[in-house]
Each structure stands twice: as structure tokens, then as C-alpha cells.
Structure 1
Amino acid sequence: MFAFISFQRLILVGASDISKFQAWQDAGLVLSTTSNEACKLFDAVLTQYATWTNNESLGGIDGCLAKLKAADPNFTMGHVIANGLELIGTGRTVRLDKELDSAVRAMVALSQSQALTERERLHVSALDVFARGQLPKACDLWEQILQSHPTDLLALKFSHDTYFYLGHQRQMRDSVARVYPFWTRDVPLSSYVKGYYSFGLVETNLFDHAEKVAHEALAINQRDAWSVHTIAHVNEMKAEVEKGLKFMKETEKNWKSSDMLACHNYWHWALYYIEKGEYEAALTIYDQHIAPPCLASGNILDVVDNSSMLYRLHLEGVELGDRWNDLLGVTKKHTKDHILLFNDVHFLMSFLGAKDHKTTEELLTTLQELARAPREDHQLSLAPSLGLPLCQAFVEFENGNCDKAVDLLYPIRYELVQVGGSDAQRDVFSLLLIHAALNSKSKAKRNLARCLLHERDMMRPKSPMTERLIRKAAAVHSMA
């Protein structure tokens, strides 16, 4: 079903046969526009965002946004969803992008000149503070909306994604839980809300419950790539490699057309092969399904997947050819972004992999400068204590200073959740720490490596990668 509230109704009944706002009003979500077409297009954009899919028959999200602006240039919620998708995408920042900064300012000015609902005003305010780096405050405003309008999908999805960036795992879960009873099966896209909830469950280690809810969602709509993604996480976190491989192979035909998420699901698929030590199989997936969309679009999620995948293979000692240099062509333009620390460290991986020392230094220097300046930006406030030590740990490891890398990384390992991402994504930081400790000249740090591996083995029993690393640790210890 391709509809949220108004879109399907307006297509089937015809705009001339019903009130322009009736469908949204019936849901308690008034849209302040006199244009039926604007309502339909807003709905089309929201649906594609919620389902991680560009509907090419409608022109995709970008095509619908262009038509939406033309249908009603003064439609505030049209500006909200357009600017929100740019900001949530984390590929552009108002600090560096004058066009985006002007767009956000224009949205705020437009809202002040119109008679909007309180819900719409809160949406504008949330994006205004998000644009200035105040992500927790933006979430607070979206939560205000959801308390009165629990089926406001835009508020739910924006808050869900932002909690993810903040590493607020319980908030990400509970934000959906609070509105979950209102998303009954008769509400369009309710199965996707199940998918959002299942991901919050997996990120709070409620694996069995997460898998159950994700399967419930897939029973309603087998093309739900986000619920597939949840199950991929469950299998990854439990190191159930064969189960994970079987599931991805069996469901591929259902989710590979979800172009905004397919690359990430293939990333999970390749992780299983890295776990098994089947590096050529992982590289085949990388070359066929992970690198091409990233190099074509530059989507930040795809960039993160590419950097992380290659770095994991690098830690395993795999020869990567020109792949780092190919990726550098995409990441280099983001050197000074500093929107999310999580993004920064993944850009850094690509600079280090390509041995671009100048760009590496530029990223670190500009981040240090921003971190010194007093500002309201939540992510930059974490740079001195988390972002910079994390980035420097990668640099030290690549320079062969393993002891220094351990000294930087070990004290902050439990705090790194604050830089965002999922447990599966942040696992690359844990692997870096283990490899640095294993390769240390210090006996104490090599002992630490053994301890970290025992810890990992308890959390992921029968992990092939952990078993390989334990054997390596034993060999290192016997030679000491």
C-alpha cells in the first residue's frame, strides 16, 4: 500500500470529490494549505521517507518535493518536510551551506507570518533548533507533538532518527512505545511503525522481542526493509551467522528495491561473511551492492557503510586495492562538515585508508577549532571528551602507535554510545581497541586484549571472528 493518510484517498476518489483537507483533518493532523495537490505530494514524500523507498513512478522524493513547492510555495509543512529531510540526511549543514541556511530561515519567517496550528509551529521550531545542533531539544519538541498527535508520522520518524544520532537507545525505543497503541492495523503504514519499534528493542538488547515484532511487521508487509534490517541486527549481535546468511538470501528479493536502505542491508549481509573469514564473498557484495550506490549518490548512510566495511576488512588484513581511493572521492568534500562525530570518524577511516595525510590533518584541525569555540551544538560539545580521542586513536593505530591508541580508546569505550549509530556499527570501535591491544608492545595491554576477547565471547558465543582473535591472542602470549 502506497499511502499514509491522504494520498491514496485523493487518488481513488479524486480531488474534486472531497474536501481539500478532509483526510488529514479526519486524522487530527490539519495541514495549513488550500491546495489538494500540496496535500497529496506532502503525503507522497512522507510515505517514501517512512518506507525507505523512492517511488520512481512519482518521481521519487526529490521529484515530489519539487512538485510540492510548485503546488503551494507558501505551504509551511512542505518547507518543513523538505528542510527536515536535508537536515536529517546529515550531508549538509547550515554552518557551511548558505542555501540550506537560507531555506531554514525562510521557513521560520514564513511560519511567523501565517496562522498555523500549534502542531505545525512545533515542527518548525524543532527543525530550527536541529539546524543549530540542538538535537536533544529538537526531540523534546517532537515528543510534545506526539503527546497530542500520536499518529504524526513525521514527528515520530524525525525523532526516531535523531535519537539514533544521539545514541539515545531507550528513548528511541520508548518514543515509539508511547504511541504504539494508536497505530492499529487499519492505520496505513502501521506495520512500519512496528519496524521502528523492533529496532528500538534490538538496540536495548531485547533480541527475542525485537525479532518477534519485526516478523509481525513482515507478516503484514514482506517488503518492509527496515524490519528485515532489525532481524539482520539480531543475528549480527548474537553471532548467528548461518541463520543471518539464510535470512538475507531468502528475503533479498523483497528488500533490494528499497533503494535508501538496500545498501545497508547488504552491509549486514557482508558482515556475516567477514565474521566467517570469507573475505572474497564479503568483497563481492561490497563491489556489487555497497560501493556502487555510495559512489553514485554520496548518501551519508552509504558512506558510513562503505568506510566501516573497508576498515573491518583492513583490520582483518585484507588487501583492498583501489577501493579506499574510490571512496575518498566521495568523502573528501565532507572534511569540514562536523555535523555528527559518528560521520567524522567514518570519513577519517577513508582518509587513513587512502593515506591522505593532508585531509586527515584538516579534519582533525577543523574539529579541534570548532570544539574550542563556545556554542550550543550538542555534537561539538562532545568533541573534546569523545570525538577527538576516538579520531586520534584511529590515527595512532594507523601510525603503528598501538599503545597510544589503547590509551585513548579504552577509557571512553562505554561512553562512545553518545556519538550515535547502532551497536553493530559501533562494533568497529571495539574491534579497533582489540586489534590495538593485541599488537601492543606492552604485556599489560596484550593481557587486556585477552580480557576483551573473553568479554566478547560471553556476549557472542560461538563467534568465528572472536575464536580467530582468541587464537591470535594465545599465539602472541606464547611468544611473549
Structure 2
Amino acid sequence: MQDILGNATTVQNEQDLQAINDFIEGFLGYNQCIINILAAAETSHNGLVHIYAGLLWMLSETGEIPQAAQQYAKNAMAATGLNAREQLLLQTLTFWLQADMARVRQTLQTLLRQWPRDLVALKIHQYDDFNNGRFLEMLRVTELCHSAAANNAYFQGMRAFAFEQCHLFDHAEHAARQALAINPKEAWAQHALAHIMLTQGRIEEGVSFLSAHTQEWGRLTSFLYTHLWWHKALFHISLDQQDVALAIYDEHCWARDRTFSQDQAGAVSLLLRLELTGVAVGTRWQELSDYLVVRQQDVSQPFLTLHYLYGLLRAHKPEGDLLLNAIRHAAAQKKSNLHAAWHEVGLALADALAAHAQERYDAVLPLLDPVMGRIDQIGGSHAQRDLFEQVALDAMLRTGRNSRAQQVLETRRLVAPYDAPTNKALAEIYEKSGLSMLAKEARDRSLFA
């Protein structure tokens, strides 16, 4: 039997095939049907079913190696008759369980050279690349699949996001439009376009584009559902519609799976961005932090961990100090795969975020400045990492570094001329500097937004 991508499988019955296809569609399309693989694995003896169940657990971002994934790997090893492609997928799961990500990527590349329509393998490779700031590699690996999968909407969505992360926006938009021409509901392509429009300052177009698709997002897994709403909230903040953005936080961004890593990080990010524009968020930090306390030792993904840290410290949770100590320990572990990310960049970011959360604003810039040019090492998209520049800007404004802040803000305005927070900050700086004409121009731009 073949899966929905046209790859041969060792599946022997329709029930297992449906579960495998649900995993593929769920993983590539962020569809909730992905979890059906776990129910199938309870009764199936097929090795591929157990491989995919194990991979789903590895994608759950619990902060440690899930025992369930180890058991599924054992089940798959005990199964008989795996074909050559499935054996490579099992190797992928096995190496991942060993935290040997170099061999994971090597195995996936071997697989893709022979079976370029296995887009699950491509997605896993891109997932690891993204988390570790290897954006050119995200793009390069799509070349292994391009000739075989160019007519697949999921592939074009993945390629669009890889182009976008490399700042190749024309190529990115072309790929995203190709994906949407094949399937107008392809959510990862919608996501790529949201990135493009935000980065290029196409704010009103971005709001309009995402608003036209919100009714489709109910079927999505919690991560992409909340993340697309997060993107929409950023457009509203840029338009000086903080009330709309705050409602999005309450009704969508912090309203699905509050235990999932990406949802937690997105909530921290949006709440902080709202505060940086002057929004009073009430008790939301305390409510959010209640779900972050379990992350007090989770240093498995630096980008996510830094968000947990800020949320805990901003709510004055003692677990924030425990997490900061865990980060210091991770930065000292030279044999760890994460040593470079934590030692070279992550620890300084953690200390800077801690200083900001604790209102020690004079300490923020000395900690941030040496690493600002290397933040990509911790993963996350450039739109997400922009939060660190916003924190730096806030520290500049709070500590009277107006000349430096003006330089940064005017540079940001080149991309988004009518961004309301940017122009409001500029108006304040120019007013304080006795430049009333420039202050009025900035205020007028803000009103236009």
C-alpha cells in the first residue's frame, strides 16, 4: 500500500493506512488528525505506525526524552518486514532518542535522496534546522525534493518558509502563492506570507489576508492555530489596535493547549510586546506563569526556554531563579549539543531578560549588546527574535539613551513607515530633544496607522 505522498509502505490494512495518512497530513498540515496515530498504535503491529507514534512524541517538546517514544521505537524494532525507507525512518527515531541530531540529519538526507517525496523526512530536517538557526540548510534540503514534489502544497509551504527565513522574500512569496494555488487552505504557506508581509511592512494587507482565513484555522493543531493568531495580533499592534491584540491573546493565543511549549512561548512573547506598547495586562502574567512552573529545568530548546524564563521572572515565581540556574549549568556543559548555543549566546540573553523582567534596566544593554548579532544561534524566526531588539529598545528609552534609540527606530521605520509603536516612540524622543516638527511628523504617521 502507498501513503498519500505516493511512498510504498508495509501496511497491510486500511485502518493502519488511514492512521499513517492522518499522521502525514497532520504533521505537514498541522491538522489535529495527527493524534490518530496514537490510537492506531495501541492495536497495530505495523512498524511504521509505531515509528510515527514515536516521532509524534519526540515532537511534543516535553523538555526531556519521552518514555513513550522509547517504547514505540522498541515496538518498531520488534516488528518484521520494514522496507528500506521505513528502516531509515526508524534509524531517525533511534538517533533522535540518543540526541544525536547530526546523525538524524545525515539519515534524513540519505532517505530524501532516494525517496524525495517523503515530506515527513523533509519536515523533520527543517524542524531541527530551524531550532538551531541553520536557515540556509532549511532551504538547501528542499532541493533534494524539488523535482519530485514541486506539485505538492505542503512542499511549497515548507520551501516558502525556508526562503523567507533567508530573507529571499520574492522567492518566498512565489512559493507560498504556488502552495495556495494548489490548496488555498495550506496553513504553513499562509504563515509564510504573514511573515513576508510583516517583515516588508505590508501591515494592512497582512491583516486583510489573515482575516480572510481565520475560519479555516479551527482544524489546526494548537501550535499553528495560536501562532497564526499571534501573527495577526502583531499586525494589530502595528496599527495601534492594542485592544484587538489583547482580545486575540485572551480568545485565541492563550486559549487552546496551555501545556504546550510553543503556545506558552507565543503567549509570553505577545504579552511582553503588548506591555512594551504601554498596555496594562492585569493578572495575565500570574495566570500564564502557573503553566510555566513545570519548565523550571527545561533547557532543551534555548529559544523556548528564554520565553519560559521571562514569564516566570515577570510573575516573580521562584521557579524563574531555578530555571536561570539550569541555564547556567547548561552553558557550562561542554559535551552537550546545546553548549555553544547556551554558552555563546543564550546565557547572556537569559541574564538580559532577567534584568528586564526585574526592572534592572541599566543592566540590559551591557548584556545584550555583545550577542545581538548572533541571536540566530538559538533558533526561532526573525520575526520572533525581533522581541529581543524590542527589549533592547525599551531599555534604551527607559535609561535615556535617546540618540541610540532614535537610530534604531528610524531604521525600523524604513521597513514599516506607519508602524504605530515606532512612531509614538520617535515622537516622544523628538519632543524631548526639542525637535517639535519631527515629533509632529511622527505623531501624524502614528495616527495614519
User: What's the TM-score once normalised by structure 2's chain length?
Assistant: 0.89
State the shift of 1:136 in Å: 4.2
Give, as a single letter, the amino acid of the residue that structure 1 aligns with 2:93. L
2:347 pairs with 1:369 = no
Equivalent residues in 2 for 1:234-313, closer than 5 Å: 234-260=196-222, 261-295=224-258, 298-313=259-274
Residues 25 and 278 (structure 1 numbering): CA distance in 2 closer, same or farther, change over 3 Å? Answer: closer
Q: Which residue of 2 aligns with 1:62?
A: 35
2:406 pairs with 1:450 = yes
Q: Which runs of 5+ in 2 are unaligned?
A: 436-449
2:346 pairs with 1:384 = no
Asked if the contact 1:86–1:92 (Cα under 8 Å) also holds between the matched residues in 2, the reply is: no
Equivalent residues in 2 for 1:58-457, closer than 5 Å: 60-72=33-45, 75-94=46-65, 97=66, 99-100=67-68, 103-104=69-70, 107=73, 110-111=76-77, 114=80, 116-185=82-151, 190-260=152-222, 261-295=224-258, 298-356=259-317, 358-376=318-336, 378-440=337-399, 445-457=401-413
Q: Where has structure 1 moved over 6 Å in runs of 4 or more?
A: none
Asked if the contact 2:23–2:36 (Cα under 8 Å) also holds between the matched residues in 1, the reply is: no
Asked if the contact 2:132–2:378 (Cα under 8 Å) also holds between the matched residues in 1, the reply is: yes
Same amino acid, percent of matched pairs: 24
State the shift of 1:350 in Å: 1.3
| Counterpart secondary structure, 2:369 | helix
Q: Deviations over 1:227-246 (max 9, x none)?
A: 11111111111122111111
State the shift of 1:396 in Å: 1.0
Residues 216 and 336 (structure 1 numbering): CA distance in 2 closer, same or farther, change over 3 Å? Answer: same
Asked if the contact 2:53–2:72 (Cα under 8 Å) also holds between the matched residues in 1, the reply is: no
Q: Which residue of 1 aligns with 2:447?
A: none
Partner Cα separation in structure 1 for residue 424 and residue 329 of structure 2: 41
Partner Cα separation in structure 1 for residue 368 and residue 325 of structure 2: 19
Asked if the contact 1:108–1:128 (Cα under 8 Å) also holds between the matched residues in 2, the reply is: no
State the shift of 1:286 in Å: 1.2
Larger mean CA deviation between 336-345 and 78-87 belongs to 78-87
Partner Cα separation in structure 2 for residue 318 and residue 225 of structure 1: 30
| Counterpart secondary structure, 1:330 | coil
| Counterpart secondary structure, 1:414 | helix
| Counterpart secondary structure, 2:370 | helix
Partner Cα separation in structure 1 for residue 170 and residue 81 of structure 2: 47
Larger mean CA deviation between 206-215 and 223-232 belongs to 206-215
Give, as a single letter, the amino acid of the residue that structure 2 aligns with 1:150. P
Tell me the number of residue pairs that the alignment of Structure 1 and Structure 2 aligns.
Answer: 434
Partner Cα separation in structure 2 for residue 449 and residue 119 of structure 1: 54
State the shift of 1:472 in Å: 3.0
Asked if the contact 1:290–1:305 (Cα under 8 Å) also holds between the matched residues in 2, the reply is: yes
2:18 pairs with 1:40 = yes
Residues 34 and 420 (structure 1 numbering): CA distance in 2 closer, same or farther, change over 3 Å? Answer: same
Asked if the contact 2:41–2:50 (Cα under 8 Å) also holds between the matched residues in 1, the reply is: no
Partner Cα separation in structure 2 for residue 226 and residue 430 of structure 1: 26
State the shift of 1:113 in Å: 7.6
State the shift of 1:179 in Å: 1.0
Partner Cα separation in structure 1 for residue 83 and residue 185 of structure 2: 35
Partner Cα separation in structure 2 for residue 418 and residue 80 of structure 1: 30
User: What's the TM-score once normalised by structure 1's chain length?
Assistant: 0.84
Q: Deviations over 1:282-306 (max 9, x none)?
A: 11111111111143xx222211211
Larger mean CA deviation between 161-170 and 447-456 belongs to 447-456
Q: Which residue of 1 aligns with 2:446?
A: none
Give, as a single letter, the amino acid of the residue that structure 2 aligns with 1:266. W
Give, as a single letter, the amino acid of the residue that structure 1 aligns with 2:112. L
